[in-house]
Structure 1
Amino acid sequence: MQHHAIKSLLILTIFASFLSTANSLFWKKKEFNYSPVIIIPGNGGCRIEAKTVNPKVPTPKCRVSKDWYLIWANIENIDLFAGEYTYGCWEDYIRLQFNRTTGESHSYPGVYTRIPGWGTTETVEYVDPSWLTFLAGNTGAYFSTFVRKLLNIGYERGKSVRAAPYDWRLAPVSHSDYFRRFKELIEDTYEKNGQRKVVLAAHSMGGTYTTYFLRQQTEAWKNKYVRYMLSLNVPYGGATALLWLYASGYNWGINFISAKKVRDEERTYESPAFMMPNDLAWNENDVVIITKDKKYTIKDYEQFFLDINHKDGVKLWQRARVNTTEERIHPGVDIVCIYAHGLPTGSTLDYRRAHFPDEQPSVLHEDGDKTVTTRSMKVCEMWDNHPKYNFELKKFKGIGHNDLLYNEDFYIYLEEMLRLP
């Protein structure tokens, strides 16, 4: 009897050992062989939350909340029955005030804003997470497919795929604290992932913020922490849509939003001044705006702000504008530049049949991704053939500015580029 028990125990031990070995052989977790990624989103691609304590705003009887709540993007701010923004208070809470003494821009007194989601990806996956956006064609989605594709190959939110959201209303010159935190996030991501260098995946305006940041870092730091910058449809040469925004208001193609109404708050933002067409892509004689009696080029921005009666426009632009001399300097890391092309894209605003600046212009087109012209995105090619840093270029034809982030061919290429060498 005792002999039988010992024999049974021995069989069970051998069987358990077999199961353990089989589990390690057949169910062993696939080795993660990719670089960690930090997402730097584009204009409007980050949520903004607000709270209000005795707000000193023009609109009376505005909501007062000591708790943080979402003001961007929030489809609930749109009156679906009136067909336009239920504006007033929302405008007062999201707009900025320009200080003519310091040149800085801030919220109204009593209005506090913050950018949620630091180091995570949820707030850039869905800029507006409400169920109403799904009914409106999933308009709140942004980097959702990008993150899902990375999760499918073994990435983890908050560890190997992260995000560095920022206040997109402000120009880089106003973001010293953000860039300090961004540097710490890169270092932390490097450590969390076994000291693997980080890929900086920057879309649209986020790319210009990233190159601005990289030029402020030492060569030794960049060599240690950054594998490469992934440049996705980045408008290095600016975009005429930002002139449209300042002149007449720009509703980003959302027809039930009144462009003229959003113009007042859009004019308070610094970032459009940073992203206006510049001499990296436009010649000094290229016309960017044409009216019944005047033509504006990139040399005429001071006159442009005077003519549209934007009282603080000139000073705001002088402080926030891109320094194209610095932009010509290589960021000091390897570059993988990806951009879409092959679609008609606005390059000149035509007011010859519209009252300038209060009516909406017609648009003259050239090649691009429907939002940014090819000439602006291809500025990255000036960094090719650098003696120290690698450069790779990939173009996708017939894909829109944000549609690149939903394109299967892009993700096939991306997985290849993220693999460790």
Structure 2
Amino acid sequence: MEAQQHRLTTALVLLLAAVLFSVGAQSSEAHGAASLHPVILLPGYSCGQLDARLTDEYKPPTPGCGVPKQGRRWFRLWENYTALQEDPALLPCYEDQLRLVYDRAAGDYRNLPGVETRVVSFGTTRSFFFDDPAIKNTCMERLVEALEGVGYTEGANLFGAPYDFRYAPAAPGVASRAFADFSSSLRLLVEHASVTNGNRPVILVTHSFGGLYATEFLNRSPLPWRRRYVKHLVMLCLGVGGSPVIMQVLASSTSSPSPSTTLLGSVLAFGNRSFASTLSLLPSPKVYGDTPLVITRARNYSAKDMTEFLAAVGFTDDEVQRYRTRALPVTLNFRGPLVPMTSINGVGVPTIDRLIYWDGNFSAKPQVVNSDGDGIISLDTVLALQTFVGDDPDQRYFKSVLIPNMTHTGMISDHSALNRVVKEILEANQATSS
């Protein structure tokens, strides 16, 4: 009996120890998650999903695209892989409904008359999850999963700030309602995320074009607000100064897409000239200078010759003027956000540096001359970022990380790259500077 009682006592002690250990471990994990600074993700180009609604004012390119087809309800305009699988005839409808027009009276871009749009699920990361398998690794879905693996939780300390990728920040003082509305929403989201997480300042994490949105948002926010609410900016896959790739996009849009082209290919690969964002991605003279970027038998075009290049590929005088007044000043006046910043870029991947249209036929496929980069962003623009931000005495902290043999999309989908990105985010959590 005594031995049995001893065994029972021992078992109870071990059980109690196991329970206490489990509670202690859970408390430790909970404390670790509770100590994390909230993260807000800004995705890359084309990664903000859009809903649309049509009114009687809309003039469809074909009868099947009109209001009777969709009714007055909201429907998914971008990205709509499932709908296009079911009815490929909707492709020209979606292409048309995505177009922007320029309102001269307002001095700003807007939707086509009769088309209303809204960004899907602002404040959450839900819109980063796409039906199209071709996009799954390009829009932060894997990064969301990686952050959840280290203690982040959607809606608690992990948030998303998708935006309408058709628009772009315009020069200060120039009308840009879409960017102004986004900035107001992001400011409220940052403050909400901070207040609901013990007043901890947030970490902004961006990919590609989201970095431009973030830096312009920060630079146009009061410095005391930045230092109160933003602990760190982690910017993935963005240098400074645009890319010659966009010149190829604009040149190729002089030709017609093939019947088999997907919506993604038609709108992005062939280029939609109506998008304000297209002009904001062009190479900056501040970075590329007078280096030839497009070469023809008759003449070469550098970043300093961008207005002439735009005219050569069919832009009107009014469209060229919008480049001069809206997009160019933003690229020329880039500056560091004056909050602690980490820039992470891939290198070692062939990246377009020059385009050769020897016969001057911009609808033809060009010969390309490659340089170093991540396949989209060149190393030259990353080095320019290091100079513009790293050499600024008012920039309190700047770190540049280069990951060998890493592509633009691999940065947010490749396991090893995600590990490094999460490591930098966790280090930003622990940094004493804010």
TM-score by structure 2 length?
0.82
Per the alignment, residue 416 of structure 1 pairs with 423
AA paired with 2:24? L
State whether structure 2 residue 59 is matched by structure 1 residue 57: yes
State whether structure 2 residue 211 is matched by structure 1 residue 207: yes
Shift of 1:81: 10
In the superposition, relative to structure 1, how do residues 139 and 149 fare at CA in structure 2: closer, same or farther (>3 Å)? closer
Per the alignment, residue 10 of structure 1 pairs with none
**CA–CA distance in structure 1, aligned partners of residues 93 and 244 of structure 2:** 29
State whether structure 2 residue 274 is matched by structure 1 residue 268: yes
Residue among 330, 333, 340 paired with 1:334: 340
* Mapped contact 1:245–1:267 kept (Cα < 8 A): no
**CA–CA distance in structure 2, aligned partners of residues 254 and 185 of structure 1:** 42
Written as runs of structure 1 = structure 2, the 5 A alignment for 1:239-250 is 239-249=243-253
**CA–CA distance in structure 2, aligned partners of residues 237 and 119 of structure 1:** 29
Written as runs of structure 1 = structure 2, the 5 A alignment for 1:292-311 is 292-311=297-316
Shift of 1:149: 0.8
**CA–CA distance in structure 2, aligned partners of residues 39 and 322 of structure 1:** 26
Shift of 1:56: 2.5
**CA–CA distance in structure 2, aligned partners of residues 38 and 255 of structure 1:** 39
Shift of 1:194: 1.1
Shift of 1:229: 0.7
**CA–CA distance in structure 1, aligned partners of residues 239 and 201 of structure 2:** 26
Written as runs of structure 1 = structure 2, the 5 A alignment for 1:123-202 is 123-124=127-128, 126=129, 128=130, 130=131, 133-134=132-133, 137=134, 139=136, 142-173=139-170, 174=176, 175-202=179-206
State whether structure 2 residue 362 is matched by structure 1 residue 365: no
**CA–CA distance in structure 2, aligned partners of residues 275 and 238 of structure 1:** 5
Which aligned runs of 4 or more in structure 1 are off by greater than 6 angstroms?
A: 14-20, 79-82
Shift of 1:35: 2.0
State whether structure 2 residue 409 is matched by structure 1 residue 402: yes
Per the alignment, residue 11 of structure 1 pairs with none
Q: Identity of aligned pairs, percent? A: 24
Shift of 1:416: 3.2
Shift of 1:172: 0.8
Structure 1 residues not aligned, in runs of 5+: 1-13
Shift of 1:111: 0.7
TM-score by structure 1 length?
0.85
**CA–CA distance in structure 1, aligned partners of residues 361 and 369 of structure 2:** 17
Written as runs of structure 1 = structure 2, the 5 A alignment for 1:375-390 is 375-382=380-387, 383-388=389-394, 389-390=396-397
**CA–CA distance in structure 1, aligned partners of residues 294 and 197 of structure 2:** 49
Task: Give secondary structure in 1 for the equivalent of 2:153.
Answer: coil
Shift of 1:138: 5.8
In the superposition, relative to structure 1, how do residues 46 and 302 fare at CA in structure 2: closer, same or farther (>3 Å)? same
Aligned CA-pair RMSD: 3.1
**CA–CA distance in structure 1, aligned partners of residues 206 and 425 of structure 2:** 14
In the superposition, relative to structure 1, how do residues 362 and 21 fare at CA in structure 2: closer, same or farther (>3 Å)? same
Structure 2 residues not aligned, in runs of 5+: 1-12, 171-175
* Mapped contact 1:235–1:372 kept (Cα < 8 A): yes
* Mapped contact 1:346–1:366 kept (Cα < 8 A): yes
AA paired with 2:54? T
* Mapped contact 1:190–1:197 kept (Cα < 8 A): yes
Offset from partner CA, 1:262-294 (integer Å, 9 cap, x none): 4887000011111100023202x2111122312
Written as runs of structure 1 = structure 2, the 5 A alignment for 1:110-129 is 110-124=114-128, 126=129, 128=130
**CA–CA distance in structure 1, aligned partners of residues 137 and 418 of structure 2:** 21
